[in-house]
Chain A
Amino acid sequence: MKKIFVTILFASVALGATYGLTSAQPASDAERRQLILKGAKLWPIYCNQCHNARPPSEKAPYEWDLEIMHMRSLGNIPAENVRALIEYLKSR
Chain B
Amino acid sequence: MKSLMKARTAAGLLALIGLVMIPRLGFAADAPGADDMRAIKSELQELKQDRLRDREEIHDLKGRVEQLEGENKQLKAASSQIQTEQTQTTQVVKQIQEQSKAGPSPSQVSSAFSRYLGSHTFLVTGTAGFSYIYAPQSGGINDIPRQRQNTFVSDWEPMILYRPNDWMLFQGILSAAFGSTGTSVDLSSAEFHIFPTDHMEILLGLFDNPFGDWYETQSPMWVNRFITAPLPFGVEAVIPAAEMGVQLRGGYQWGQVGQDWDYTVWGGNGPSFSTTSNGLDAVGATMSAPTPAAFARTNSKSVGARFRIYPIPVDADWGRLELGVSTYNGKWTAGRWLHGWGVDFNYFVGNLQTRGEWLQSYRQMPSGFSSDNRQGGYLQLGYFLNGIDLPFLPEAVNKHVNRLEPLIRFSMVNQRATLVDDINSATGIGMGGSRVGLVPDFGLSGSPALFAPKSREVAFGLDYWISPSIVWQNEFDLEVPQRGGVFLDKNGIATTVGRRVQRDHVFLSQFTIGF
Contact = CB atoms under 8 A, between A and B. Distances in A.
A23 B119 CA distance: 14
Given A74-B217, A79-B198, A66 B163 contact: yes
A18 B113 contact: no
Given A12-B250, A13-B248, A73 B169 contact: yes
Q: Which of A5, A16, A54, A90 has the most CB of B within 10 A?
A: A16
A86 to B, nearest CB: 10
Interface stretch (B19-27, B62-70, B148-156, B255-263): B255-263
Contacts, number: 164
A5 B303 contact: yes
A42 B257 contact: yes
A49 B320 CA distance: 7
Contact of B200 (A8, A16, A50, A91): A16
Contacts of B372: none
Given A41-B314, A69-B163, A60 B113 contact: yes
A28 interface: no
SS of B interface (majority): strand
Interface string B342-360: 0000101000010000000
Interface residues of B, number: 60
B222 interface: yes
Interface stretch (B53-61, B189-197, B406-414, B486-494): B189-197
Given A16-B196, A16-B200, A81-B253, A22 B121 contact: no
Contacts of B305: 8
B247 to A, nearest CB: 9
Given A73-B193, A74-B217, A78-B252, A17 B200 contact: yes
Given A42-B314, A62-B117, A73-B169, A12 B265 contact: yes
Contacts of B161: 66-67, 69-70
A38 interface: yes
Contacts of A12: 200, 248-250, 263, 265
A62 B113 contact: yes
B164 to A, nearest CB: 11
A46 B258 CA distance: 8
B250 A66 contact: no
A41 B197 CA distance: 24
Interface string A21-63: 1110000000000000010011001101111111100101111
A45 B318 CA distance: 10
Nearest to B163: A66
Contact of B348 (A8, A23, A49): A49
Contact of B171 (A8, A60, A70): A70
B121 A65 contact: yes
Given A23-B167, A62-B121, A77-B260, 7 more contacts: A42-B258, A48-B320, A48-B353, A49-B346, A65-B121, A78-B199, A78-B251
28 contacts: A1-B303, A1-B329, A8-B248, A8-B265, A8-B303, A9-B248, A12-B249, A18-B199, A21-B197, A21-B198, A22-B198, A42-B258, A45-B314, A46-B320, A48-B348, A49-B322, A50-B217, A52-B469, A54-B469, A61-B110, A67-B123, A67-B125, A67-B161, A69-B193, A70-B161, A70-B193, A73-B249, A80-B253
